[in-house]
Chain A
C-alpha cells in the first residue's frame, strides 16, 4: 500500500516557532503529500505566514477550540480517498500532527514512516520531543499511566544520552509530531473534545490500543518543542503555563478519564468521591507547602462533576471503538515500584536544590543551648518563690480557668459579645496543663526567660552568620526591659507578645521564600496581635512596606494576616456595631493599670522605670536620680551604637530593616502611652506600652547583632584581598568584647528589677487558683454560678462588680466588657448593679433581698482600699453592710472583709443557650487556624550541612532576598 501523509499544522500563534515549523516541513527528506494548516490565531500576520507555506488546505477556526477539535476541522477539509480494488492496495493515509511550536527534524517524517511501514499493526508512531532551547534535553518521549490512572511521562526533562533509544512500544505518545493512521483515527472517532490539551493524545492512544493496534515511539525521529502541550493548547501570547495551572489541567483530564475508563457501575461512586478526594488532596497540597494548588483541585473536581454530556459521550465513543479488554494495556502501565522510585528521585533532587539555596545557620549547639540554659537558671532563681504554686496573682495575673471545659467554653460568644483573640492563646496555654489550667501561667512566667532566649536565638540565627552575635541577640532579648517589666508586674499578655515577636519577625522575613514560614508568620502574627492589639497599626505598616519590597510575592504576603483577621473579625464586628472602635486597642486579659509612662522610660526601653530606680534607690540612697538615669542611658546605648556601627560596615543597608522595627515600636509606645480605653475597678486603664517596647527592643537587638556580625565579616574581607591567611584575630576579639559589654549592660540593668519577685517587692505572688476567699471558692465548687459582689473603695467612689464562682479567671475577661464605657453610656445591668450597691453600701430603707437573688449573689466582699483613699469610705461601707440584717459578717478574709447573704436562694439564673452562629463562627475560626497550622508545619525534614564546611568569607545570608525554600 502506498502511504500518503497529510501533515496538519495547528497554529494558535505565529512568530519564529511557527516559521521554523513551516520551514522544517518544507525541508523534510520525505515531504508530506498534503499540508493542511489550521489558523486558530485569528491574526492577519499568522494567516499570511501560513498562506506563504502553500498549504493544500487552509482551515480557519476559533481560537477557543481544543487541539482535537482543530484536527477534526482540518480533516473535514480533506476528503477520504475513494476505496479502491487495486491489487496493490489502496492509498494508506497517515496523519502527521504538528503544532505551531513543534519543529520536526528534517528526517523526522521519513523515520516515522520507516517505523510504521515495517509493522502493519502499528497505528501510531511518536517522535522524541526535545526542548527547542536545549536540543540535548528530552522534553517528553512516550507516555504511560500508573495503576491509578495518573499520567506519567516515560522520559521527561532528562539529558538525551540515548538512554531511551531502545524503547519502542509505549502506551501512548504525545501529540507533537504524532503520526497516526487515518482509518484507525476515524475508527476510534478521533480526539476526545473534553480533553482540549493535556492527555488528549494519551486518551487517543489508549483507545487505539484498545482497538487492537500498537503505538510506538520512534527515537530516531526528533521534534523540537518550544512550548509544550499545556501552553500550546492555550490561546494568546504563549506565556508559559504556571505549574499550578498545569496541575489543574492535568487533574481535570485525569478525573475525566477516570470517569470514562471506569466500569459503568463504578461511575457513580467515582462521581461521589470527587468532592472528598478534592478536599483530601487540597489538604495534602497544604501540607506539602503548595497552597496555591489547592484551588485547582476543587476547580478540576467541579469541572468534571458538572461537565454535562462529555463523560457519557466519551464513554460511548470508547465502547464503540474498543475491541480488546483493558488487560492489553496493563503491561504497558508503569509499575508501582517504578512510580515510587521516580517520586523518590524527584524528592531528593528537590531537597538537594533546597539545601544549596538555604543560607547557613549557626549551630544551636553548644552556644544556643548554653544561652538558653543560662536564661533558664536565672529565671529559676528569680522566680523561685513561685515554683510549685498552682496559680499566680498580682497585676494582670489571675488563675487561668477553673477547669478545662470552662477554658474551652471561653472561646464562644456570650451575651457580652465575641471572645477576645487572646482567649485562643489562653486556651492553647491551658491545654498544656489540662489537669490544672492555671498552672500554665506559672510555667509561662518561670519559663519566660529561657523561652525568650530560645526565640531570640531562632530569630537571630536566621539572619546572622556566627554563633557569637546570635548569642548576644538571644541574651539581649531574654533580658530586655519589656520582658522583665511584664514578668515582674504580672502581665501575661505582654509576656506572650514578647515570646511570639521574634518568631513573627524571623518567619515573616523568610515568608517571601517559603510557604511554611508564611504559615508560621501568620500564626505568630495572630498571637502577637491577640496579646497586644495596640501593635496592630505598626504591624500593618510594616506588612505593607514588606509587600512593597517583595512585589513578586505579593499574593503570598497578602495571606499573612488571614489567621489574625479570622480571630479578630467577630470582635471587630461587635466593637464597630457598638460604636467603640477604639476599644479594639484595649489590652486583653485582666486590666491592670500600668504605672505612669515617662518619656525617659520609653527611651530606655522600660515601661515603668521605677522598677529599676526603686531598688537602686534602696541600695544607694545617696545616688541622685539623674546620675542613675544617665548610667542607665549609657548602658542602653551600647547596643544602639553597635547597630549604627553595623550600618557603616559592608552591606549595612540590611541593618535598616531591624531599625524600622525600632522606629515602629517606639512610635507605637509613644502613641498609646496616653490612651486609656478600658475601665477596671473604677479606674481608666491605660494601654500597656510593654509590647511596643518589645518590638523596639527586638529591632535594637537584631541590629546590634548584625553590627557585631559585620565587624567579624568586615575584617577578613578587607585583609584577605592582600593575604589569604587565616581570619585575623583582632576583629573577632573586638566583636567578642563588644558583645560581652552589651550583654553585661543589659543584665546589669535588668538585675535590680528582676530581683523584685525574689525580694517580695513585686505584685506577683503565688496563690491558690482563686481570687475570692476560700469559703466562697469552696461553695463555688458545687455551685459555680454563685455570685459575689466585690466592692473596692477608690478615690472617685466605690467600684463594684460581680464575680462568679471562685473569682476572676483570665479566660473570663473580655475587652468588650472592659471597654463598654467607651460608648459613653452605662448598660442596664451596670446601672442596676450600681443601684443595688448604692443601697447596700449606705444606710438605706430598701429590702435588697430580691435584687441579690436575681443576681444570684451570695456574698459581698469589701476589698481593702488602695493607697490615698480616705479610710472613712471603707468604714462607712462597713457600717452599712454590718448594719444590714440581710447580710451577716464573716470576718476579715485575705482579700478584704466578707459578708454572706443570710436568706437562702436556691434558684439560679438559667445559663444562656449556645447560639448556632457562635458555633459556626468558632468552626470557621478553628478551620482557618488548622489550615494555617497544616501549612506551617515543616514537612520536609532536611539534613543540615555542617557549619564547618562553610567558607568564612561567604556573602551575608540572603534572608531578605526572594527565592523559594519549599517549592
Chain B
C-alpha cells in the first residue's frame, strides 16, 4: 500500500486534474446530448391535444308572422294640371297557403295605392305561403301585362331592369311592412358607370308605408340602370315598375323583382321569345332598341367579370353560347339578336359576382308588351315549394318553366312527376289562379310566365323562407 502510494505520488496531481477535466467535458457532452434529445422530442413528438368542446346551442327562433309584400297596382299619373301619382289598375292576387291574412299597408305615395301584405300568422296551421300579383292596365299611358311574386322584405335588393330614356318611366317602389322605420340607401349604376345621385341615401320609409320614387329623379335618360336598395332599421320589399310609351302608344309594362346578392351563377328559367320579329319592328318606331331580347349585366365589384351566357332551348340543346367581359361598375346590355321564336332559359356564369336580368318583348299588330325576367333562386333537392299562379283572362295562359342546370331532377307538380334533364328545361302549362305544390329531388330553378295576345309577364318561384334554419349560439 505504501509502495503504490509512493510510486504514484508525483503523477497523482496531473492524473487527477486530467480526470477532472475529462469528467467535466463529458458532463457538458452529456448535457448537450440530453438537450439535443429534448429539442428533438419537442420538435417531432406531437404534443397531447386536449381541446374542450365549445358549448353551442342550436336555437330555433320562435315562429314569427311571415309576411309577403306585393308589388302593388300599375302606376300612372292623374290627369290634370297637377298630376299625381296614382294606381291606374289594381293588382289581382292569388294567395296560396292555409290561414293567410291579407291586409294593406297604411300609407302610400300613390293615390289608391294600398299595397297588399299577405301574412301567415304564427298560429296558422301551415308553414308555407306564396302569393303572386298581376296587373292588366289599359290606359292611354300604360298597357300590357305585368306580374310579380309577393316578396319577403329584405335589407338588400338588387333591381336590374328599367330605363329612363324618352318614353320610358321607371318607378322605384319601396314597401316597409315592419314595425320600425327603414332608412334606405340607393346605389345606382348606368351604362357609363356608377351614378352619383343627390338624395339617393337616407330615404326614410316609415313603418307600414310605401314610398314610390321616380328613377329618373336619380338617373335621367339612363338606358340601362341598375339599382341597389339597402336598408337599415326595418326591411323593405323593393321592386321597379317600368312602362314604355312609344310615340303616343303605350307599349308595355313590367315589374322588376329583386335579386338578393350578386352571385357567380344566375339562372333565368323563363326567356320566351314570342313574335320576336314583330316586337322588334314595332319597337323601332321611336328609335328605341328595347324590343330586342337582351341581358343586362353588372359586376358591382372592383374586378371585371368574364361572363358566359348559355341559352337553353326546349330541345335540351345547349343552344347559343355567348361570352362577354363585364367591366366593373359599368352596366352592360347584351342584346340577343336573331333568336327564333320559342321558349328559352338563360344560364349566366361569371368569374366575379354579378347581377343579371333578361328582357324580352312581344307584340301583335295592336299591342306590345315587354317583360324583365329576374333570375330565379335555386330550389334545392328536397324542397317543397308553393307556387301561386296569378289569375289571368280567358284568352291568356300561364306556363311553368323549370330548369335543372346541374343534374337531372325529378319534380313532382301537384303529384304529377316531371323529369327535368340535366342542363335541360321543361315548360308546362299550368292552371291559373291556383296554388301549385312542387317538390323536387334535385336543384331546379322555376319561373311562371303569363302570356296572351301581345302581352307577356313573369313571376318567380322563391325558396320557402322557413328554409332559414336554427341559429347556432355559443353562450359564454
Contact = CB atoms under 8 A, between A and B. Distances in A.
B471 A831 contact: no
Contacts of A662: 35
B232 interface: yes
Query: 6 shortest A-B CB distances, which residue pairs?
Result: A838-B59, A797-B472, A682-B474, A845-B64, A801-B476, A844-B61
B57 A834 contact: yes
A673 interface: yes
A750 B207 CA distance: 59
A824 B60 contact: no
Given A684-B52, A822-B52, 10 more contacts: A647-B24, A647-B31, A674-B51, A682-B474, A800-B476, A830-B476, A834-B473, A834-B474, A843-B61, A885-B180
Contact of B57 (A673, A794, A835): A835
Contact of A799 (B20, B24, B62, B474): B474
B59 A839 contact: yes
A670 B31 contact: no
Contacts of A839: 59, 61-62
Contacts of A663: 34-35, 38
B56 interface: yes
Nearest to B465: A843
B339 interface: no
B310 interface: no
A52 B19 CA distance: 59
B287 interface: no
Contact of A838 (B41, B43, B44, B471): B471
B319 interface: no
Contacts of B155: 875, 878-879, 882
B31 A842 contact: no
B172 to A, nearest CB: 20
A821 B48 CA distance: 19
Contacts of B179: 883, 885
Interface in A557-584: 582
Contact of B64 (A667, A799, A801, A843): A843
Contacts of A681: 474, 476
B55 A882 contact: no
Contacts of B154: 879
A676 B38 contact: no
A577 B16 CA distance: 61
Interface in B85-119: none
Interface string B16-27: 000010001101
* Chain A interface residue bracket vs B: 35 or more
Interface string B51-74: 111111101111111000000000
Interface of B: 20, 24-25, 27-28, 31-32, 34-35, 38-39, 41-57, 59-65, 122, 154-156, 178-180, 232-235, 468, 470-476
B24 A648 contact: yes
B51 A676 contact: yes
Interface string A872-884: 0001001100111
A569 to B, nearest CB: 24
Contact of B43 (A600, A821, A841): A600
A647 to B, nearest CB: 4
A684 B154 CA distance: 34
Contact of B49 (A649, A674, A822): A674
A4 B223 CA distance: 145
A797 B35 contact: no
Contact of A796 (B56, B156, B178): B56
Contacts of B473: 797-800, 833-834, 837-838, 841
Nearest to B468: A842
Given A798-B474, A889-B233, A831 B468 contact: no
Nearest to A840: B61
A644 B32 contact: yes
B471 A797 contact: yes
Contacts of B38: 663, 666-667
Contact of B61 (A659, A819, A824, A846): A846
17 contacts: A599-B42, A603-B43, A647-B24, A648-B27, A663-B38, A675-B51, A676-B52, A681-B476, A833-B473, A834-B59, A838-B57, A843-B61, A845-B61, A878-B155, A882-B180, A883-B235, A885-B179
A825 B432 CA distance: 54
A891 to B, nearest CB: 9
A602 interface: yes
Contacts of A659: 31, 35
Nearest to B233: A882
Contacts of A837: 59, 471, 473, 475
Contacts of A797: 56, 471-474
Contacts of A835: 57, 59
A826 interface: yes
A677 interface: yes
A582 B50 CA distance: 9
A602 B56 contact: no
B224 to A, nearest CB: 28
A110 interface: no
A838 B61 CA distance: 6
Given A844-B62, A882-B180, A676 B475 contact: no
A678 interface: yes
Interface in A765-797: 794, 796-797
A17 B400 CA distance: 124
Interface stretch (A284-292, A616-624, A650-658): A650-658
Nearest to B207: A885
A801 B50 CA distance: 24
Contacts of B180: 882-885, 888
A883 B31 contact: no
A799 B476 contact: yes
Contact of B48 (A603, A650, A675, A888): A675
A146 interface: no
Contacts of A849: none
A26 B364 CA distance: 156
A883 B178 CA distance: 7
Nearest to B39: A603
B44 A830 contact: no
Contacts of A844: 61-64
A663 B180 CA distance: 64
A447 interface: no
B62 A846 contact: yes
B47 A671 contact: yes
A824 B53 contact: yes
B232 A800 contact: no
Contacts of A644: 28, 31-32, 35
B28 A648 contact: yes
A645 interface: yes
A679 B472 contact: no
Given A599-B42, A602-B42, A842 B61 contact: yes
Nearest to B51: A676
A794 B474 CA distance: 9
A821 B47 contact: no
A679 B61 CA distance: 24
B146 to A, nearest CB: 28
A58 interface: no
A833 B178 contact: no
A680 interface: yes
Contacts of B476: 679-681, 799-802, 817, 830, 833
A668 to B, nearest CB: 11
Contact of A798 (B34, B64, B472): B472
Contacts of B50: 582, 674-677
A644 B50 CA distance: 35
A663 B470 CA distance: 49
A888 B183 CA distance: 13
Contacts of B27: 647-648, 652-653, 656
Given A666-B38, A846-B62, A883-B234, A649 B24 contact: yes
B64 A670 contact: no
Contacts of A674: 46-51
A824 B474 CA distance: 14
Indicate the member of A676, A883, A889 with the most B CB atoms within 10 Å. A883
